[in-house]
C-alpha cells in the first residue's frame, strides 16, 4: 500500500466551463472583473451570513503583506506571532519592514498563548506594531481577546490560511472580526484552487484599502497614492474559485468523514493510552491533513521515517518552527518551551478526499505497532 501525504483534487474543467464561457463574453480577464465580484459576493452571503467584507488576493502570503501593511502601527518595529506557524507569517511581516517577535503556544490547542502575549505586549510597548495569531490547522481560535486588543489600538491580523470553511454554530470563522483575517486557497488547502486567497474584515474601510493597494494603490485618477502592488487574481482563477464554491460543502463533508475515521481507528487502537495526542480545538474544520503529537520523549521525524518504509508518507508541520529556521533564528522571542516540545512530537498524517476507510485503518494500525516497538516491515 502506498499512501501519499496529500493528493490535491481540484474541480475538473467541466465544472467551470460555463464560467469560462462568461469570460469569453465579458472580455474581462482581471482587475476585479465580474466573476471575481460574483465570487466575493457569494463568499460573504453563503459563508459569512452576509456580514462583513472581503477581497480576493493572489495568495495568502500577499494577503498577509497587504493586511499587515494596512493595519500596522507606524513607527513601531515588532510583529508578535507564534513560532509554531508556516514561514509565510514571519516572511510577510518582514516584507512590511517589521521584525517578528515569536511567542509560545498553548500545550493543547497549539495556538498562541495568552499569557505569553500579555508579556510581549508589556515588554514591547510602543515598539509593538501588530499581533498576528495563527488559527492553527484550521481551528476556530477564540477571537474575543483579539477583538478587544484590536479595538484598544493594537492591530490584529489573523493568519487563518487553513480556516476557510471552518464554522462554529454555522458562522464562518472570522465573521465580524474588526481586524483582518487571511485565508489561503492554495492547491494543498481544503478550498484549493491552485493559487489564491482572500482577506476578510468586518471593517469596510480596511478591505477598500487592501483592494486598492492590491491594484497599485491607484487613486481614481490612476495615480499611486500608497505602497501598492499587484495582488489581483485573474478571472480564470475566479472561475475555478466559483466552481469550488459550488461543491465546497461536499468536499468538507468528505474531509470530516475521513477525520472521523482517524479518530475512531486511533482510539480503537489505544493510541491515547500510549501517549499520543490530538489537537484540542473548536469549530467544524475542513481538515487539510491529520495532525497528531507522538508520545513524550519520542521523535516524530523518526516515526515519519519508519512510516515511509511501509509506504505511508507523513510530514511534520510545523517542525522546524520558525525560530529554528535560518532566515528567522536571529530574531527575538519569548519563552518557547511548549513550541520546542511540540516540534519534536508533531506528525502530520495523510488526508485527501479519495482516501478510503482501509487507508485510515492501515495507518492507525501501523502507528499502534510502531508505538509498541514492533517492526512494521511487511
Ligand atoms: C498555506 C499557509 C500560508 C500561505 O498561503 P499561500 O496562499 O500559499 O501564500 C500562510 N500561512 C499558513 C499558516 C499556511 O498554512
> Which atom of ligand 1 approaches the CA of 197 most closely?
7
The gap from C-alpha 285 to its chain's centroid, in whole angstroms, comes to 11
Backbone angles phi, psi at 281, to 5 degrees: -150, 165
Show the cell assigned to 26: 465579458
Residue whose CA is at the smallest distance from ligand 1 atom 14? 161
The pLDDT of residue 375: 39
**Length of the chain counted residue by residue:** 378
Section 330-334 average pLDDT: 98
165: alpha, beta or left? (left if phi > 0; alpha if psi -120 to 50): left
In a 3-state reduction of DSSP, which class is residue 333? Answer: strand
Does the beta carbon of 199 sit less than 6 angstroms from any atom of ligand 1?
no
Residue whose CA is at the smallest distance from ligand 1 atom 8? 186
Between the CA of 192 and the centroid of ligand 1 the distance, in Å, is 12
Does the beta carbon of 60 sit less than 6 angstroms from any atom of ligand 1?
yes
Tens digit of each residue's pLDDT (9 = 90 or more) over 78-131: 999 999 999 999 999 999 999 999 999 999 999 999 999 999 999 999 999 999
Between the CA of 25 and the centroid of ligand 1 the distance, in Å, is 33
Task: Name which of 176, 187, 134, 125 is nearest 157 in CA terms.
Answer: 134
Backbone angles phi, psi at 26, to 5 degrees: -75, -25
What is the chain's mean pLDDT, rounded? 96
The gap from C-alpha 228 to its chain's centroid, in whole angstroms, comes to 24
Q: Are strands 78-82 and 99-103 parallel, antiparallel or unpaired?
A: parallel
Instruction: Write down the architecture of domain 248-371 according to CATH.
Output: Alpha-Beta Complex (3.90)
Range in 8-12, 250-254, 364-368 with the lowest mean pLDDT: 364-368
Does the beta carbon of 88 sit less than 6 angstroms from any atom of ligand 1?
yes
Note whether 13-244 and 248-371 share their fold.
Answer: no
What is the biggest distance separating any 2 CA atoms in the chain, rounded to whole angstroms? 71
Tens digit of each residue's pLDDT (9 = 90 or more) over 265-313: 998 878 888 899 999 999 999 999 999 999 988 899 999 999 999 999 9
Specify the fold of 13-244: 3.40.640
The structural domains of the chain, with segments of one domain joined by +, span 13-244, 248-371
Between the CA of 184 and the centroid of ligand 1 the distance, in Å, is 6
Taking the whole predicted model, whether its pTM rises above 0.85 is answered as yes
> Which atom of ligand 1 approaches the CA of 162 most closely?
15
Does the beta carbon of 186 sit less than 6 angstroms from any atom of ligand 1?
yes
Task: Name which of 377, 374, 356, 371 is nearest 270 in CA terms.
Answer: 371
Does the beta carbon of 287 sit less than 6 angstroms from any atom of ligand 1?
no
Between the CA of 189 and the centroid of ligand 1 the distance, in Å, is 9
Amino acid at each position: 500500500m502506498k499512501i501519499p501525504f496529500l493528493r490535491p483534487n481540484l474541480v475538473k474543467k467541466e465544472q467551470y466551463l460555463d464560467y469560462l464561457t462568461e469570460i469569453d463574453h465579458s472580455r474581462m480577464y482581471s482587475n476585479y472583473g465580474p466573476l471575481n465580484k460574483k465570487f466575493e459576493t457569494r463568499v460573504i452571503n453563503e459563508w459569512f451570513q452576509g456580514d462583513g467584507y472581503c477581497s480576493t488576493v493572489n495568495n495568502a502570503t500577499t494577503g498577509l503583506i497587504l493586511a499587515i501593511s494596512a493595519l500596522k502601527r507606524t513607527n513601531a518595529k515588532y510583529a508578535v506571532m507564534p513560532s509554531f506557524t508556516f514561514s509565510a507569517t514571519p516572511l510577510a511581516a518582514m516584507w512590511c519592514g517589521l521584525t517578528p517577535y515569536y511567542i509560545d503556544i498553548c500545550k493543547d490547542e497549539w495556538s498562541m498563548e495568552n499569557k505569553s502575549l500579555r508579556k510581549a505586549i508589556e515588554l514591547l510597548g510602543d515598539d509593538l506594531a501588530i499581533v498576528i495569531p495563527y488559527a492553527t490547522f484550521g481551528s476556530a481560535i477564540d477571537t474575543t481577546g483579539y477583538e478587544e486588543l484590536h479595538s484598544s489600538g493594537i492591530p490584529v491580523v489573523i493568519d487563518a490560511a487553513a480556516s476557510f470553511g471552518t464554522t462554529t454554530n454555522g458562522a464562518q470563522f472570522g465573521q465580524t472580526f474588526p481586524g483582518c483575517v487571511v485565508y489561503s486557497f492554495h492547491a494543498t488547502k481544503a478550498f484549493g484552487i491552485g493559487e489564491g486567497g482572500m482577506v476578510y474584515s468586518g471593517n469596510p474601510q480596511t478591505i477598500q484599502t487592501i483592494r486598492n493597494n492590491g491594484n497599485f494603490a491607484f487613486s481614481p485618477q490612476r495615480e499611486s497614492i500608497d505602497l501598492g502592488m499587484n495582488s489581483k487574481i485573474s478571472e480564470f482563477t475566479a472561475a475555478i474559485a466559483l466552481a469550488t464554491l459550488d461543491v465546497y460543502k461536499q468536499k468538507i463533508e468528505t474531509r470530516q468523514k475521513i477525520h472521523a475515521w482517524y479518530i475512531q481507528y486511533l482510539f480503537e487502537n489505544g493510541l491515547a493510552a500510549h501517549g499520543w495526542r490530538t489537537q484540542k480545538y473548536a469549530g467544524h474544520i475542513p481538515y487539510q491533513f491529520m495532525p497528531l503529537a507522538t508520545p513524550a520523549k519520542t521523535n516524530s521525524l523518526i516515526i515519519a521515517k519508519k512510516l515511509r518504509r511501509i509506504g505511508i508518507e507523513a510530514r511534520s508541520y510545523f517542525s522546524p518552527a520558525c525560530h529554528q529556521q535560518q532566515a528567522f533564528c536571529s530574531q527575538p522571542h519569548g519563552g518557547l518551551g511548549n513550541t520546542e516540545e511540540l516540534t519534536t512530537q508533531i506528525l502530520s498524517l495523510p488526508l485527501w478526499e479519495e482516501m478510503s476507510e482501509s487507508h485510515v485503518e492501515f495507518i492507525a494500525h501501523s502507528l499502534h505497532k510502531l508505538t509498541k516497538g514492533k517492526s512494521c516491515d511487511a
